[in-house]
Amino acid sequence: MRLLILGGTVFVGRYLIEAALAQGHEVTVFNRGRHDDGEYPEVEKLRGDRTGDLAALRGRSWDAVIDTSGFVPGVVRASAELLAGSVRHYTFISSVSVYTEPARVDETSPVGTPTDEQVHEAEKIEVTGRATAATYGALYGPLKAACELAAEEAMPGRVLTVRPGLIVGPHDYSDRFTYWVHRVAEGGEVLAPGRPSRPVQFIDVRDLAAWVLRGIEANLTGVFNVKGPDYVLTMERLLEECRTVSGSDARFVWASERFLLESGVTPWSELPLWVPEENENHKQVDFSKALAAGLTFRPLAETVRDTLAWDRTRPADTQWRAGLKREKEVELLRSWRSGRRESES
């Protein structure tokens, strides 16, 4: 199969390439060329800008395309319309952030819709070439939903829309999962959020890539939530697995959500995987449809081990994008212990 990937090779794109090459597919990538992709000499590299320079894609044909970098509907529509006559199948990597309901959701649940003004603002941001998911903030989900619609309108009945939750694993520079792997490996007292039995969900990037490739090979279309694991994973079990894999002496101090919020701790970014349970809308996502379509998962220990191994190759002065600063964690631990003593006296 001849496969075109729209986007970079930093994280999701990297593992899509590796999965495709492992299965003997021919791979072409199209991006601005701002990240080093020299480790894939067998991959054809096409350069261009999705906001206005698609010339490298004209006159070419592939069996399928995977869009990993679409944030703005007009950009996705332009790519999909150009490729509609030269590919048979279009996969769009979206997000569970499209959903507007805070309760349990499935693929039929309502999604957000951006206004014309918001789309226009997003298009201006996209032209700068520096946009990321975080750039769009609360608009990220509605924009992704509009991108899904744009792809389907351009290639009706030929689009596989993938809505993953948190994607984790080696080369995840968001640090939302890596923080816990790294912090627990350091050992000592580790501040942990909320109830130890609180469920968490995420998907290893390699499991996501493998399922996407299988879906393309099977000509799968429609919308699929993609999360994991296929059992109830608690925050406590996750942290204990991190401790076991790293062999550290980490001791978990579970602070209440009320204390964390009153102390000014920012959910999800300072303490990744934590969103206050009263407004959490990411962990109750039904992904049974993807399970029925062959989604499988590697052991949690493997994800932790490989993420830790990759993390240890990073420079010591790496600027973390998520997680508590050590000084703040120490102060929070001291404050939590002090408050507990006062309440017990």
Q: For 143-167, how does the pLDDT look when each residue is reduced to its tens digit (9 = 90+)? A: 999 999 999 999 999 999 999 999 9
222: part of which helix (H) or strand (E)? strand 222-226
Task: Read off the pLDDT band of 36 (50, 70, 90).
Answer: low
- pLDDT over threshold 80, residue 305: yes
* Of 243, 245, 260, the residue nearest 191 (C-alpha): 260
> Is 285 in contact with 201 (CB distance < 8 Å)?
yes
Share of the chain above pLDDT 70, in %: 92
> Cβ atoms within 10 A of the Cβ of 4, count?
25
pLDDT of residue 127: 64
Checking if the pLDDT of 217 tops 90, the result is: yes
Q: Is the pLDDT of residue 281 over 70?
A: no
Reported confidence tier of residue 216, pLDDT bands at 50, 70, 90: very high
Residue 259 pLDDT grade (very low, low, confident, very high; cuts 50, 70, 90): very high
| Other beta carbons less than 10 A from residue 142's beta carbon | 22
What is 1-164's CATH number, 3.40.50.720, 3.60.20.40, 3.30.360.10, 3.30.43.10? Answer: 3.40.50.720
Round the average pLDDT of the chain to a whole number and report it: 92
Cα separation, 15 vs 21, whole angstroms = 10
Task: Please report, for residues 13, 87, 187, the alpha-carbon distance to residue 40 in angstroms, rounded to integers and kept in the order given.
Answer: 12, 23, 37
Least confident of 59-63, 133-137, 191-195, 225-229: 133-137
pLDDT at 11 (0 to 100): 95
Q: Which two three-digit tokens encode residue 317? A: 């002065």
Q: Give the per-residue pLDDT at 344.
A: 46
**How confident is the model over 270-294, as a mean pLDDT?**
85
Is the pLDDT at 341 greater than 60, yes or no? no
User: Given pLDDT bands bounded at 50, 70 and 90, which one contains residue 101?
Assistant: confident
pLDDT above 70 (res 132): no
Contacts of 72 (CB under 8 A, 6+ apart): 119, 122, 123, 126, 131, 143, 147
In the prediction, which pLDDT does 139 show? 87
Neighbours of 336 (CB within 10 A): 18
Contact 44, 29 (CB under 8 A): yes
Estimate to the nearest angstrom the gap between the alpha carbon of 59 and the chain centroid: 32
Q: What's the pLDDT at 247?
A: 98
pLDDT band at 98 (very low <50, low <70, confident <90, very high): very high
Residue 124 has pLDDT above 90, yes or no: no
Provide the sign of the torsion angle of the four alpha carbons 90, 96, 100, 106, taken in this order. positive
Confidence of residue 190 (pLDDT cuts 50, 70, 90): very high
Instruction: Give me the pLDDT at residue 345, please.
Output: 38
pLDDT at 134 over 80: no
- The whole-model pTM stands at 0.93
Cα–Cα distance for residue pair 208/15, rounded to 1 Å: 9
- pLDDT score at 52: 86
Q: Looking at residue 197, what is its pLDDT?
A: 96
Q: Which amino acid is at 67?
A: D
The pairing of strands 203-204 and 167-168 is parallel
pLDDT score of 8 more than 90: no
The length of the chain is: 345
- Between the alpha carbon of residue 218 and those of residues 6, 205, 211, 223, 307, the distances in Å are 20, 20, 10, 15, 30
Question: What is residue 110's predicted lDDT score, i.e. its pLDDT?
Answer: 95
CA distance 159 to 216: 10
Q: What is the pLDDT averaged over residues 267-289?
A: 84
The answer to whether the beta carbons of residues 107 and 289 sit under 8 Å apart is: yes
Q: Does residue 37 surpass a pLDDT of 70? A: no
Euclidean distance between CA atoms 252 and 243, whole angstroms: 10
